[in-house]
Chain A
């Protein structure tokens, strides 16, 4: 009987213990996969806001060219300005149409005249944003509205970091529980087969020979747990992709990038196999004393 056959024999003899071990691994990898997919979505959201202008000054309607040029000159005089882009009413309409191209009802009724012209400003020194905001919020004769993205990014960053930390803590707890469960189950299986191990040792089996089927068992639980965990998470991503993406529109929160998911699957298989091996190795070392 090859080690793999022996392992299969062990699994069949105690199917519920095997199921618990695989489920523990499955849960860990389901949470890991889900966390990574959510994290990737959050990174996309952050990136989206980070690449947006950091402050936008919407201008009052009917300003003449000279006033607009003066405003631009004045803005350029601030230290720490990276880029100032003037968005005319026509350009604003083009951007609006691009953002709502899937919803013709929203674009049909809108004309350039109802959209405000604006200055989109990005900075290299964040302190200048506050100055611009303070100075221009009082100029109500030329400025209609100011959108200060810094607040959004800061709050988004806080949320993202908090989500990451909580997710990481949950994964750490679940992975630790799975790991301990695996060690315990391998230990129980070894105890169940104590006589067989003792007899094999008396017949001349090396320590590694009797441990090998249990190590393989751990690897199998890790392997299948990681594959099923990933597949379940991927399936949920597939099912809820549309509704989640439409909620975050125009951001693609769940991007079904084949390379990303292949790398994730591969990394999880390696991690699962390694975790299964280490857990069973510790279990075997702890419980095989004869």
Chain B
């Protein structure tokens, strides 16, 4: 699913959160969104998820114009996107397994395959012993992996990761990024990840979009560190 932003503005009152944003992201790309806090990275992800509507401009996800899309289009598009939120957004009174089952139910995943799919993603993120625990019983790194497991479960075309390493220690941060990299490579899943961690960005050798005060100031590829 190709993602296209065409001269997108997003204003909150009279303040521009994003201004004249234009870019294209092809299926299978791994893109880092970097910039200071309040630069507009999360707003951009929210626009992709249609959590916010653009003030002007056009946002295309595949064939669907989200700026004019109806509710069904929005829901269908969201079902193709896995989201890893910085604050996890796991449902507190459901176990990790139930949280994953919920999204599979939302996307109408075949009932008979739900359990095997849960087993697979739980294994992928190495949460086997934690699957029947509630979010409040998990540590930060585990919660982030649980959030990723939920995003992976639906076999998404795109994964949006909003500062997924923000609350993690260096080891867990690297493990998570490595996992995203593998998913990107093996499944050709588009990954859009916001981060403040320059070390990770520079070592990965991927495309980087730098945002400052709501405007794209740089869109470049960096060569991978050896």
Interface positions of A (Cβ within 8 A of B): 1, 9, 13, 195-196, 199-200, 202-207, 209
Contacts and interface: CB of A to CB of B under 8 A. Distances in A.
B75 interface: yes
B222 to A, nearest CB: 31
A210 to B, nearest CB: 9
B152 to A, nearest CB: 13
Contacts of A206: 71-72, 75
A200 B106 contact: yes
Given A13-B93, A199-B91, A1 B83 contact: no
Given A13-B93, A204-B106, A207-B71, 7 more contacts: A1-B105, A195-B91, A203-B79, A204-B75, A204-B78, A206-B71, A206-B75
Given A202-B78, A202-B83, A203-B78, A1 B102 contact: yes
Nearest to B114: A1
B127 interface: no
Interface string B51-93: 1000000000000000000011001111101010000011111
A221 to B, nearest CB: 21
A196 B49 CA distance: 17
13 contacts: A9-B93, A195-B91, A196-B91, A199-B89, A199-B90, A202-B83, A202-B89, A203-B102, A204-B76, A206-B71, A206-B72, A206-B75, A207-B71
A203 B103 contact: yes
B101 interface: yes
A172 to B, nearest CB: 38
A5 B35 CA distance: 44
Contacts of A9: 93
B98 interface: yes
A176 B107 CA distance: 39
B132 to A, nearest CB: 14
Contact of A204 (B91, B92, B98, B107): B107
Contact of B101 (A1, A195, A199, A204): A1
Given A13-B93, A195-B91, A200 B71 contact: no
Contacts of B77: 204
Contacts of A207: 71
Interface of B: 49, 51, 71-72, 75-79, 81, 83, 89-93, 98, 101-103, 105-107, 150
A59 to B, nearest CB: 84
B166 to A, nearest CB: 18
A202 B51 contact: yes
B105 A204 contact: no
A212 B76 CA distance: 18
Contacts of B72: 206
B106 A209 contact: yes
B105 A202 contact: no
For A195, A196, A204, A206, the residue with the greatest tally of chain B CB atoms inside 10 Å of its CB is A204
B143 to A, nearest CB: 14
B49 to A, nearest CB: 6
A283 B75 CA distance: 23
Contacts of A204: 75-79, 81, 103, 106-107
Nearest to A210: B106
A207 B106 CA distance: 11
A205 B89 CA distance: 15
B49 A200 contact: no
A202 B84 CA distance: 11
B75 A202 contact: no
Contacts of B101: 1
Contacts of A205: 75, 106
A151 B145 CA distance: 85
B82 to A, nearest CB: 9
A54 B76 CA distance: 75
Contacts of B83: 202-203
A94 B107 CA distance: 80
B208 to A, nearest CB: 26
Nearest to A9: B93
A9 B92 CA distance: 13
A195 to B, nearest CB: 7
Contacts of A200: 102, 106
Contacts of B75: 204-206
Contacts of A199: 89-91
Contacts of B98: 1
A9 B91 CA distance: 13
B77, B90, B106, B150, most chain A CB atoms within 10 A: B106
Contacts of B89: 199, 202
B162 to A, nearest CB: 11
B102 A202 contact: no
